[in-house]
Homo-oligomer: A and B are copies of this chain.
Amino acid sequence: MTLVPDAGTAGETVDAMMDRLGRQARRAQRRLAQAPAAVRTDALRRAAAHLKAATDRLMAANREDVAQARGGGATDAFVDRLVLTPERIAAVADGLSAIADLPDPLGRELARWDRPNGLDIARVSVPIGVIGIIFESRPNVTADAAGLCLRAGNATILRPGSESFRSAGVIVEALQAALVDAGLDAETVQRIPTADRAGVGALLKAREHVDLIVPRGGKSLIARVAAESQIPVLKHLDGICHVYLHESADPAAALAIAVNAKMRRTSICGAAETLLVDRTAAARLLPLVIDELAALGCELRGDDATRALDPRVLPADEADWSTEYLDAILSIRQVDGIDAALAHIDRYGSRHTDSIVAADTVAVDAFVAGVDSAIVLANASTQFADGGEFGMGAEIGISTDRLHARGPVGAEQLTIYKYVVRGTGQVRP
């Protein structure tokens, strides 16, 4: 039991604090679920305005967060994720406005049918409930995640990393002010009022109050959350994405897709980490790809056959096939046809996103059917693994889990359903 240092009832234990937050969230969510779409839309628009109006206060809080991070020896990359500018704040506010413009995901009739006894059964989308969001240094997650949850009628309990604690606090205040202006409860969006690690533990065991946990951040955070949580978690751990160049691949498409999948942004989960190439087509397809990647500064690690094609390719070892570099490094392996490619992806992949480049539609269909990943592409870059690119408007993350949602998790995936059954006096025989 740790005392909460900076908020809540004085002397409140972390467990008591979480119980209080949980009850508040549940009550706020019940009211939110009954609010019309227009009220949630209004709250999101007001949130954008409140956030812009809070720019100075948010910048000041963020400067404190940044100073503390720098003092703690944070890397430049870390600070870059943490730091806010007026332009970044405006972009976050615009993101809230964009979420306000999304089609409402609640009350959709997902299915409807009649029974021989006259019962009319409808499956209707409803909110999940209370969602716990655990994230690290990016303060914008506060608004992005809470906003998307709000669109779908869910209350949120946010647990920002200690690094972005002050920044997240100001953003939550702006969101809460907007909620109240819109006639909703401030507690629809709450931040755990302690940066103490104990706050995470208390959230992850609050089964009574929280219906879903969404961790956002690096692999070690997500692995810890998944291992510790007593609440269902929607997540992905690894993005070991493959591009497979089938022997029927058009060389120009192969070049463009392989290079884009690896190099457009190397740090995202949809970036390709391994290039598989049909052995029969390697001499035709690989040299151009290798030239281009080498010119872009990408380190190449390949099997012996690939190294024989180009001395710039370093030797790959077994660990390379299951490594998510998140960097300008690509492993390359030649395979004996599509079955070998499928077997490689099955063994080493992370069931996130994989792509085939092929003109042969039989090969495309076999790949699409045979790869058990959240996203399987044909003749397109793995970097399209993104809710925005899917047309979802916004995403809270990508799931490689096998329940509820796979791939990009947008507003629609933050809902569940209930059955509405209308009768005329039916009883069961």
Using a CB–CB distance below 8 Å, which chain A residues touch chain B? 30, 33-34, 113, 115, 119, 121, 126, 128-129, 211-212, 227, 230, 232, 234, 250, 252-253, 256-257, 259-261, 264, 346, 364, 368-370, 372-381, 383-384, 389-391, 401-404, 406-407, 416-428
Contact = CB atoms under 8 A, between A and B. Distances in A.
A369 B232 contact: no
A252 B426 CA distance: 11
Most chain B CB within 10 A, of A34, A113, A250, A420, is at A420
Nearest to A382: B428
Contacts of A418: 372-376, 406-407
A95 to B, nearest CB: 19
Contacts of A381: 426-428
A190 to B, nearest CB: 19
Contacts of A121: 390-391
A317 to B, nearest CB: 23
Contact of A250 (B230, B422, B425): B425
Given A119-B380, A232-B232, A403-B416, A375 B421 contact: yes
A404 B419 CA distance: 14
Contacts of A260: 427-428
Contacts of A128: 402-403
Nearest to A113: B391
B380 A425 contact: yes
Contact of A376 (B119, B364, B420): B420
Contacts of A369: 34
A421 B346 contact: no
Given A121-B391, A380-B424, 11 more contacts: A115-B389, A119-B389, A121-B390, A232-B401, A368-B420, A374-B419, A375-B419, A376-B421, A377-B423, A379-B425, A380-B422
B402 A211 contact: yes
A33 B426 contact: no
A426 B379 contact: yes
Contacts of A370: 34
A144 to B, nearest CB: 20
Most chain B CB within 10 A, of A128, A234, A346, A384, is at A384
A403 B212 contact: yes
Most chain B CB within 10 A, of A211, A256, A418, is at A418
Contacts of A257: 425, 427
A420 B372 CA distance: 10
A112 to B, nearest CB: 12
Most chain B CB within 10 A, of A211, A252, A404, is at A404
A391 to B, nearest CB: 6
B378 A426 contact: no
Contact of A380 (B34, B376, B421): B421
A368 B33 CA distance: 13
B417 A406 contact: yes
Contacts of A259: 427
